[in-house]
Each structure stands twice: as C-alpha cells, then as structure tokens.
Amino acid sequence: MTVAFYIMAAIAVLGAVMAIALRNVVHAVFSVLLFFSALAGLFILLLAEFIAVVQVLVYIGSVGILMLFAIMLTTKVTGDPTRKLLSRGWAWGGLVSGALLLAFLVPLITQSKSESNSQLSNFNPSVKDLGLTLMDPYFASVGVIALLLTAGLIAAVVAASSASGE
C-alpha cells in the first residue's frame, strides 16, 4: 500500500513538473494527463472509488480533451528554445508558495493524525452513501449548481446560434 502510494505520488509530481517544464505544449498537456491519472490512482488507494472515476471521466476524459482541442488550434506547438522558462527571482517565489502550502497543509495533517483510527476501520465508503449525501443534506446546493450549468449550456447554445445565424 505504501509502496503503491510512493510510486503514484512520484508519478504525480513528475507529471506536474513536466507540465511546467516541457516546451512542447502537446507534451505538456499529456504530462498533465499523466498527473491526473496518478491522482486517480491515489484516490483509489484512499478507497474513494467514485472520486477516482470522476477524476478519470471528467479530468482526463473531458478537460484533457478540451485542452488538446484548444492546442490543436494553435499554430506554434513547440516553444521558442532561446527563451528562459525561469525568471530571475524564482527562488523567492518558490519559497513563498512552499510556505503557503505548508501553512495550509500542516493543520490538516495534524488534525487527521489526532483522530482515532477506530472511526476509519468501520468507514466503508460506497457510491450509494455518496449519492444519498448529495441528495439529502446538500440537495439545494446540487440543484443550484445543476441549474447554473444548464443556464450556462443554454446561453452557450444561444450565443453560438446567434453568432452563426442572422
């Protein structure tokens, strides 16, 4: 379990770093996809099947494809090799962002340690529970999100048709 976690984590970090460092945009997108899939694997290790599925279905299957489509429309796929990827004060930026990350993460980690493992042992996540949770206490928010998305979809259709029609 731990070995699998480290492998997955390494792949995820590798994918994320490559996504920034690679000059070829398509390669960068594919490394983002690699990062996403490693993340899906991590979710499976956490027994969060449904989140893993959504990760694959939405992020790899849809967002990734969307990015690829957008890149397909750009003319220059490979970047200019003479330009530098890093700016001068990159060390400071790295320091600040690392500090912020730790500031957010440390309390969470300590919190999870403090909780007893007995609660985890009889914790059996299933899709049914997730669905019931979404549909019962959080029904209003889910409904609002669904309505918003539908409105956005219809707006997109209207915008597209009025642009081409006339």
Token code pair at residue 71: 């890149």
Helix (H, G, I), strand (E, B) or coil at 125: coil
Q: How many residues bind another protein (CB under 8 A)?
A: 20
Contact 53, 131 (CB under 8 A): no
Which run of H or of E encompasses 114?
A: helix 90-114
Q: Which is nearer to another protein, 26 or 45 (CB)?
A: 26
User: In whole angstroms, how close is the CB of 131 to another protein at the nearest point?
Assistant: 9
Among 9, 14, 18, 53, binds another protein (CB under 8 A): 53
39 near another protein (CB under 8 A): no
- What does the per-residue mask of binding to another protein show for 119-138, with x meaning CB under 8 A? -------xxx----------
Smallest separation, CB 31 to another protein (Å): 12
- Residue among 26, 33, 32 at smallest CA distance from 77: 26
- 19: contact with another protein by CB under 8 A: no
Q: Which is nearer to another protein, 21 or 109 (CB)?
A: 21
The tokens describing 85, both together, are 């990827």
- In whole angstroms, what is the distance from residue 69 CA to residue 29 CA? 11
Asked if 64 interacts with another protein (CB under 8 A), we say: yes
Task: Read off the DSSP letter of residue 75.
Answer: S
Q: Which of 62, 133, 141, 161 binds another protein (CB under 8 A)?
A: 62
Q: How far is the CB of 129 from another protein (least distance, A)?
A: 10
CB of 49 to another protein, least distance (A): 5
d(CA 139, CA 50): 18
**Residue 1, class by beta-carbon neighbours within 10 Å (0-12 exposed, 13-18 middle, 19+ buried)?**
exposed
Where along the sequence are the contacts to another protein (CB under 8 A)? 26-27, 30, 33, 49-50, 53, 56-57, 60-62, 64-65, 68-69, 72, 126-128
